[in-house]
């Protein structure tokens, strides 16, 4: 009997991605705790679980009575568009809970607060189906739980801790389980560098906004230790589990964001470079850091560009540019500053980093007119090489100022008419996305990609990294996970068309 089954149901949040080809930090941290206590466990990705459920082999491969404790990690707070693998959904969670009805069951990750697939919002898992529901810095829960099984009573736990437990368990950690990831060896690990967000005051829709948590930076030694372990099997990482990569190791000098520490950022990326990772990418960066500390931010950017690999993206939470919305929602920067930041990234990113723009719809005070203003701003971006525009719908997150004000009926989520939103999205797609994708990946561009899906029409591939575009290859039979060198021959607003120039 194995004591633990660790089911990876894939996480997708703005600061952590664990949907293949990604592997989340959360699932890895639980595995490290299990290693720390020398516990025998089996890692199973939900793709494998689904395949066995479909073929009727679940009972023979994973008989419920074989395990003492079942842990599932998963859920999304902001659902994305998935190419082949997708996070566990509420129906599946119910079935899994039923399958393991006699086991101790622990549900972990955003599914503790929300589980979402596609457009339909599904409320979080309940402690009726799961003995323990855990959210936050989960290594704390598991560290205590496996030290003393009576430490916690069944229930909901939200954890917040510094990096000391992670550092302790990393001493005995093993990453061999990543070989069972369905995309292995074409897997990219999301790396955590900080907890908490340096921006004050917080954006009103953020869960940080009522009680901002203390900012903690992970030490270089801790990052390096985990990178060394991962390098045993994986070749791609993204410094993505943080609110603002430019703040790494920075200092609170009493401004709205931390003053960057370019040396610390440099050491972070250098550590990955020294270990010869083939993909070293990034995710969130706060545009306000560029505005308030331009010299230090540019130095940090140049440090990233020295050690990262091509087609890296810094995702900027611009959200909206109307003066009123920016002010009332505590957003980061206005229109002029946002354009300056994009220009700075283009100028100092050494041709390896692009800006990515996040937009939020439904923010209080947004109107049809403000959307027109936003559209004008996005059109101005077409003079730059911008990787992509991501349009999301605002969510009223528990613990946010927005949730409190909406509840008290003091603020309203903007009720934008469906046709207004639809026309906004369409215009972005047709008038902006196509121009941008052609600028970043012009016809004739050649790079390596991995086939993730095959259909009757052909194959769909992506490169490993931050915000990879889908590449349609009108060629069948390349095989799932085939590595190919492709040349770009055509574009659609959200995807590329490529031809294989070499099978790798």
Q: Contact residues for ligand SF4 (CB under 6 A)?
A: 197, 199, 202-203, 206, 208, 243, 286, 317
Q: In angstroms, rounded to a whole number, what is the distance separating the alpha carbons of residues 112 and 34?
A: 21
12 and 78 in contact (C-beta within 8 Å)?
A: yes
Of 138 and 203, which has the nearer Cβ to ligand SF4? 203
139 and 32 in contact (C-beta within 8 Å)?
A: yes
Give least dist CB 284 to ligand SF4, A.
7
Give least dist CB 206 to ligand SF4, A.
3
Q: In angstroms, rounded to a whole number, what is the distance separating the alpha carbons of residues 455 and 457?
A: 5
Give least dist CB 208 to ligand SF4, A.
5
Of 315 and 484, which has the nearer Cβ to ligand SF4? 315
Helix (H, G, I), strand (E, B) or coil at 21: coil
- Helix 294-307 to helix 262-274 angle, to the nearest 10 degrees? 10
414 and 362 in contact (C-beta within 8 Å)?
A: yes
Give least dist CB 317 to ligand SF4, A.
6
Token readout for 206 is 């953020």
Of 71 and 197, which has the nearer Cβ to ligand SF4? 197
In whole angstroms, how far apart are CA 397 and each of 144, 207, 214, 393?
28, 6, 19, 12
Token readout for 256 is 């709205």
Give least dist CB 204 to ligand SF4, A.
9
Of 30 and 297, which has the nearer Cβ to ligand SF4? 297
Q: Which segments of 378-469 are extended strands (E)?
A: 386-393, 446-454, 459-462
Of 175 and 208, which has the nearer Cβ to ligand SF4? 208
Token readout for 497 is 């068309």
Give least dist CB 200 to ligand SF4, A.
8
Of 206 and 300, which has the nearer Cβ to ligand SF4? 206
User: 106: which residues sit within 8 A by CB, 6+ positions away?
Assistant: 69, 70, 71, 72, 130, 131, 132, 133, 134, 145
Q: In angstroms, rounded to a whole number, what is the distance separating the alpha carbons of residues 195 and 449?
A: 32
Of 89 and 192, which has the nearer Cβ to ligand SF4? 192
Helix (H) or strand (E) holding 231: helix 220-231
Angle at 362 between CA 356 and CA 368, to 5 degrees: 95
Give least dist CB 197 to ligand SF4, A.
3
Q: In angstroms, rounded to a whole number, what is the distance separating the alpha carbons of residues 167 and 229?
A: 13
**Nearest by Cα to 314 from 288, 276, 274, 342:** 342
Of 106 and 315, which has the nearer Cβ to ligand SF4? 315
Helix (H, G, I), strand (E, B) or coil at 160: coil
Of 197 and 229, which has the nearer Cβ to ligand SF4? 197
Q: In angstroms, rounded to a whole number, what is the distance separating the alpha carbons of residues 309 and 326?
A: 33
Give least dist CB 26 to ligand SF4, A.
17
Token readout for 104 is 């101790």
Give least dist CB 214 to ligand SF4, A.
13
Give least dist CB 366 to ligand SF4, A.
16
**Nearest by Cα to 191 from 212, 161, 159, 163:** 163
């Amino acid at each position: 009997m194995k004591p633990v089954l660790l089911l990876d149901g894939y996480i997708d949040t703005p600061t952590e991605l664990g949907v293949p080809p990604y592997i989340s930090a959360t699932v890895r941290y639980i595995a490290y705790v299990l290693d720390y206590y020398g516990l025998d466990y089996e890692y199973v990705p939900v793709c494998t679980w689904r395949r066995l459920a479909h073929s009727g082999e679940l009972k023979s491969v994973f008989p419920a009575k074989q395990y003492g404790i079942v842990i599932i990690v998963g859920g999304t707070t902001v659902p994305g568009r998935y190419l082949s693998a997708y996070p566990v959904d509420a129906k599946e969670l119910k079935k899994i809970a039923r399958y393991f009805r006699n086991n101790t069951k622990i549900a972990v990750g955003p599914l503790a607060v929300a589980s979402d697939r596609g457009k339909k919002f599904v409320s979080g898992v309940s402690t009726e189906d799961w003995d323990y529901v855990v959210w936050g810095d989960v290594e704390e829960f598991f560290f205590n739980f496996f030290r003393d099984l009576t430490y916690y009573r069944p229930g909901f736990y939200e954890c917040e801790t510094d990096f000391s437990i992670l550092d302790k368990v990393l001493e005995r950690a093993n990453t061999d389980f990543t070989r069972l990831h369905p995309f292995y060896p074409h897997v990219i690990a999301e790396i955590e560098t900080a907890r908490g967000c340096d921006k004050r005051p917080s954006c009103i829709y953020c869960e940080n906004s009522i009680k901002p948590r203390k900012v903690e930076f992970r030490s270089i030694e801790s990052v390096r230790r985990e990178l060394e372990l991962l390098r045993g099997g994986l070749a791609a990482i993204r410094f993505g589990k943080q609110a603002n990569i430019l703040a790494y190791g920075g200092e609170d000098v009493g401004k709205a964001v931390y003053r960057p520490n370019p040396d610390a950022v440099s050491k972070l990326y250098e550590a990955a470079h020294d270990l010869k990772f083939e993909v070293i990418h990034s995710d969130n960066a706060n545009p306000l850091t560029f505005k308030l500390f331009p010299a230090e931010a540019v130095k940090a950017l140049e440090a990233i560009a020295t050690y990262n690999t091509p087609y890296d993206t810094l995702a900027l939470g611009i959200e909206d540019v109307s003066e009123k919305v920016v002010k009332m929602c505590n957003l980061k920067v206005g229109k002029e500053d946002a354009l300056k930041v994009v220009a700075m990234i283009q100028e100092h990113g050494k041709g390896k980093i692009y800006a990515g723009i996040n937009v939020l719809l439904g923010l209080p005070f947004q109107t049809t007119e403000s959307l027109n203003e936003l559209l004008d701003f996005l059109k101005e971006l077409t003079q730059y090489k911008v990787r992509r525009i991501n349009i999301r719908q605002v969510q009223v997150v528990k613990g946010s100022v927005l949730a409190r004000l909406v509840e008290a009926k003091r603020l309203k989520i903007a009720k934008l008419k469906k046709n207004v939103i639809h026309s906004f999205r369409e215009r972005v797609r047709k008038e902006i996305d196509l121009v941008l994708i052609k600028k970043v990946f012009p016809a004739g561009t050649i790079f390596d990609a991995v086939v993730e899906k095959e259909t009757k029409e052909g194959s769909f591939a992506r490169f490993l990294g931050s915000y990879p575009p889908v590449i349609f290859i009108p060629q069948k039979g390349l095989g799932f996970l085939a590595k190919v060198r492709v040349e770009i021959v055509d574009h659609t607003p959200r995807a590329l068309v490529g031809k294989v120039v070499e099978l790798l």
